[in-house]
Amino acid sequence: MYNPTEFLRAAIPAAIEAGKAIMEIYARPTEDWEVERKNDNSPLTLADRKANVIIVDRLQATGLPILSEEGAHAPYDSRKDWTELFVVDPLDGTKEFIKRNGEFTVNIAYVVKGTPVGGVIYVPATHTLYFGMKGFGAFKVGDVTVAKNDEVQLIRSAARLPMETQRRNFVVVASRSHLSAETQAFIDALRKEHANVEILSAGSSLKICRVAEGSADVYPRLAPTMEWDTAAGDAIVRAAGMRVCDAATGKPLTYNKEDLHNPHFVVSK
Q: Which helix (H) or strand (E) holds 265?
A: strand 265-268
Closest CA to 159 of 129, 204, 135: 129
93 to each of 43, 128, 236, how far by Cα in Å?
10, 15, 18
Cβ pair 208, 236 in contact under 8 A: yes
88's CB contacts (< 8 A; 6+ apart) are: 52, 55, 56, 59, 66, 67, 68, 69, 71, 107, 108, 109, 228
How far apart are alpha carbons 102 and 95 in whole angstroms?
Answer: 10
How far apart are alpha carbons 119 and 68 in whole angstroms?
Answer: 14
Q: Which residues are annotated as a binding site for Mg(2+)?
A: 69, 89, 91-92, 229
- Output the CA torsion sign for 197, 198, 203, 204: negative
How far apart are alpha carbons 265 and 262 in whole angstroms?
Answer: 8
Mapped onto helix, strand or coil, the DSSP state of residue 61 is helix
Cβ pair 225, 124 in contact under 8 A: no
Angle at 153 between CA 149 and CA 156, to 5 degrees: 140
69 to each of 38, 86, 115, how far by Cα in Å?
11, 11, 18
Q: Which residues are annotated as a binding site?
A: 69, 89, 91-94, 229
How is residue 69 annotated by DSSP?
T
Q: Which residues are annotated as a binding site for substrate?
A: 69, 91-94, 229
Mapped onto helix, strand or coil, the DSSP state of residue 253 is coil
